[in-house]
A and B are shown apart, each in its own frame.
Chain A
Amino acid sequence: MPLTASAYVGNIRDTVTSFWHGMSVTLSQVLRRPITIQYPDRMDLPVQDVLPARYRGFLEVDASICTGCQACERACPISCIQIELEKDPANPKQRVVTQFDIDEAKCMFCGLCVEPCPTGSIQHTREFEATQRSIRNLVFRWADPLAPFPVYKVAKGAPYFPRAPLGSLVLEVIARRRWDAPGMTYLPPVPLQPPPPPPVKPAPAAKPAAPKPAEGAATAPAMPAAPAPKPDEPTS
């Protein structure tokens, strides 16, 4: 496509002016402070103090004010909270929480569980540094089945509920385990029972019935052998 002379000269002129502006902008950047923040060792403050108050980090449950209403479990859209309640054997009128597991690997940090909590027991903290070698170790257990905690009876009209400092409890849970601790190992699955052999027919049909139990027995050991997963080893 032939260019006119003015377009030709215009191209050169546009090139020179646009490069002039572009290069001066880039050079001026050298005079400004880079925005890099070198985490974690060259920061002025610990990073948790730099994050805003509403930051949605790991969830923390203050067991002393948990009412066992399971509202957070129902609100969670990804089913990462699992709560089990039982009656206290010593005191049948009191309920205890025997399981309160939050799978932080599954949690999507949406905050929907924090809103329905009546006492503010479950909260998002500003902690996020809990790298674990095995993903199964990211399940935080807030209730001990061997020493379950009693549910809290909400005092009507209380202005607030006393809570441990935000973040302190979750740090204890994180510190309970080394970061490279091996994950939980599971027992191999119980092998499938072979189907019960059909009732043996009387003598004339004995021959076709004979191979069937042998068939059933032959396939039964094959089934658990193939899908049985190996016990979990710490990944190297």
Chain B
Amino acid sequence: MPQFSFAFPKPGTKKLLLGASLAGAIGIPVLLASLLVFVIPMIHKPVFDALIREKLGHDPASWAGAQWVYAIGLFLAGIVMFTFAAISGGIFSWYERRVAGRIQSRIGPNRVGVGGFFQWIADAVKLLFKEDLVPAEADSVLFRAAPYFVVAGMTLVFVALPAGQAIVVADLNVGIFYILAVTSLAVVGIILSGWSSNSKWALFGAMRAAAQIISYEVPAGLAILVPVLMAGTLSTQGLIQAQGGWPWEWFFFRNPAAAVAFVILFISQLAEGNRTPFDLAEAESELVAGYLSEYSGFRFALYFLVEWANLWIIGAVTTTLFLGGWQIPGVTAQDWAAVRGTGAFPAWGWWALQFVSLGVFSLKTLLQVNVIIWIRWTLPRIRVDQMMQLCWKYLVPAGFLCMLFTLLWQMVVAWAPLVERVTAVVVFAAFLYVTWRFLKQTRDNVSLIAHERVDLSNW
């Protein structure tokens, strides 16, 4: 018997691992969801006051440091959101690796816990233990500061991003404009990291990334204008409330230009998040890691955390704008008010419905996350000049046309609302048909290869 230098695991560990992995895979999302649902709506002043008055029996107006209590509540909500961003980033990294493995006819990580679920924890711990290397010739202050700009650019978006009917940290009345502005903070971080690394390859990557992110802000802004025009408000919750639960009440189907604007926004956000086909900045086969080349350990982990947490942001922003957000099919604004009850502190039914709205939002967002991962592992990378061409020659003119069309469309709809209804139903039906054809083509692909069949085994 050849000698192996590892020992086969003892019997009984398998059950333990299965239990731990299930606990993690189910427990972590449930924990996060509960935190989101129970902590974040609380920090809004009416609910918070009602909680302290009715449930705890104190009167906040009589305290000297009441402002501090509100501030601490806000801080806690911020921490909950950041935890959500970080953990969802980690779980997406595991999920992406498993999906990528399956797409590439192989298994992804499957050893660290059942299904490899704890792989992201293992990777994070490993990166934490690595040597903290700052190149001798690098500008050490900027080198150390750069990742934090990128992380800030990602985290600040979560402030205005809704996740449920009352689950938003701050419902700014310039919500979507704020989101667009704050994502640009990442550019500062990327340029700083490329420059301060004092490495030619890193500089290459940083220059490419800067050009890319700044250029794609323009079509993104134009595409965002379409739902803003349709809803009449910049606030994220307002945008969602202007849509409905059923698919034909979403902006995507109500206006043909909105469908095009959705595509423009999707492409622009892929470009801003440095995802393939726009990952020139960290093009692995050319620049090895581009602006990240000199980073190691925890700082490296921060960049990748941002990349994966960005997946959620891309999905959430497009869901908010075009896909009806957290609106549950069949539940209108009156239903929400009825469930809330007349007291200042909402009734139990309202909290339960918050979970449902969080679920609907997450479902729509996760569907888009899947599409982004799928695109990444299918398409090749685009070249710098072609990327610029795409932006300025294709997306920007299309964005302007969409905006103009929406202006006219809104006038037509104001005059005859039936047009919008009919368009929505027709476009939805067409969308269902196209999806069905695509899935059929996918299934046929398997039979096109000789001796191949559908087989979901080998995890």
Among A26, A38, A131, A178: residue with most chain B CB under 10 A: A26
Quick one: closest B residue to A38, CB to CB? B107
Write out the residue numbers on chain B whose beta carbons fall within 8 Å of the beta carbon of A22: 378-379
Evaluate contact between A26 and B458: CB separation under 8 angstroms: no
Sample 25 A-B pairs with CB under 8 A, ordered by A number.
A19-B379, A23-B374, A23-B378, A24-B442, A24-B445, A25-B378, A25-B445, A26-B378, A27-B374, A28-B442, A29-B103, A29-B104, A29-B105, A30-B102, A32-B452, A32-B454, A33-B458, A34-B101, A34-B105, A35-B105, A36-B107, A36-B458, A127-B2, A174-B3, A175-B3
Confirm or deny: B334 has a beta carbon within 8 angstroms of a beta carbon on chain A.
Answer: no
Write out the residue numbers on chain B whose beta carbons fall within 8 Å of the beta carbon of A215: none
Write out the residue numbers on chain A whose beta carbons fall within 8 Å of the beta carbon of B455: 31-33
A178 to B107, CA, bound (A): 33
Interface digits, B85-101 against A, CB 8 Å rule (1 contact, 0 not)? Answer: 00000000000000101
Quick one: closest B residue to A41, CB to CB? B8
A29 to B446, CA, bound (A): 8
Write out the residue numbers on chain B whose beta carbons fall within 8 Å of the beta carbon of A27: 103, 374, 442
Report, as a range, how many residues of chain B touch the other chain: 20 to 34
Confirm or deny: A198 has a beta carbon within 8 angstroms of a beta carbon on chain B.
Answer: no
A129 to B2, CA, bound (A): 6
Evaluate contact between B3 and A34: CB separation under 8 angstroms: no
Confirm or deny: B436 has a beta carbon within 8 angstroms of a beta carbon on chain A.
Answer: no
Confirm or deny: A171 has a beta carbon within 8 angstroms of a beta carbon on chain B.
Answer: yes
A residues 1-54 near B (Cβ < 8 Å) are 3, 11-12, 19-20, 22-36, 38, 40-41
Write out the residue numbers on chain B whose beta carbons fall within 8 Å of the beta carbon of A30: 99, 102-103
Confirm or deny: B337 has a beta carbon within 8 angstroms of a beta carbon on chain A.
Answer: no
Question: Given A26-B377, A178-B3, 20 more contacts at CB 8 Å?
Answer: A20-B438, A22-B378, A23-B374, A25-B378, A26-B374, A26-B378, A29-B103, A29-B104, A29-B105, A31-B442, A31-B446, A31-B456, A32-B454, A34-B102, A34-B107, A36-B107, A40-B4, A171-B2, A175-B1, A179-B5
Write out the residue numbers on chain A whose beta carbons fall within 8 Å of the beta carbon of B375: 23
Evaluate contact between B106 and A179: CB separation under 8 angstroms: no
Write out the residue numbers on chain A whose beta carbons fall within 8 Å of the beta carbon of B1: 171, 175
Confirm or deny: A117 has a beta carbon within 8 angstroms of a beta carbon on chain B.
Answer: no
A36 to B459, CA, bound (A): 9
Write out the residue numbers on chain A whose beta carbons fall within 8 Å of the beta carbon of B4: 40
Write out the residue numbers on chain B whose beta carbons fall within 8 Å of the beta carbon of A25: 378, 445
- B residues sitting closer than 8 Å to A (CB atoms) are 1-5, 8, 99, 101-107, 374-375, 377-379, 393-394, 438, 441-443, 445-446, 452-458
- A residues sitting closer than 8 Å to B (CB atoms) are 3, 11-12, 19-20, 22-36, 38, 40-41, 127, 129-131, 171, 174-175, 178-180
A178 to B446, CA, bound (A): 49
Among B101, B104, B442: residue with most chain A CB under 10 A: B442
A32 to B375, CA, bound (A): 19
Write out the residue numbers on chain B whose beta carbons fall within 8 Å of the beta carbon of A29: 102-105
A11 to B457, CA, bound (A): 39
Minimum distance in angstroms from B264 CB to a CB of chain A? 12
Evaluate contact between B3 and A179: CB separation under 8 angstroms: yes
Quick one: closest A residue to B440, CB to CB? A24
The residue from B377, B379, B446 contacting A32, defined by CB atoms under 8 A apart: B446
Quick one: closest A residue to B452, CB to CB? A32
Minimum distance in angstroms from A130 CB to a CB of chain B? 7
A75 to B183, CA, bound (A): 69
Write out the residue numbers on chain B whose beta carbons fall within 8 Å of the beta carbon of A171: 1-2
Evaluate contact between B457 and A33: CB separation under 8 angstroms: yes
A6 to B36, CA, bound (A): 51
A169 to B453, CA, bound (A): 43
With A26-B374, A41-B8 in contact, do A36 and B379 touch (Cβ < 8 Å)? no
Write out the residue numbers on chain A whose beta carbons fall within 8 Å of the beta carbon of B441: 20, 24
Evaluate contact between A24 and B438: CB separation under 8 angstroms: yes
A27 to B443, CA, bound (A): 9
Minimum distance in angstroms from A98 CB to a CB of chain B? 29
Evaluate contact between B379 and A28: CB separation under 8 angstroms: no
A141 to B372, CA, bound (A): 58
Minimum distance in angstroms from A30 CB to a CB of chain B? 5
Minimum distance in angstroms from B315 CB to a CB of chain A? 18
Quick one: closest A residue to B9, CB to CB? A41
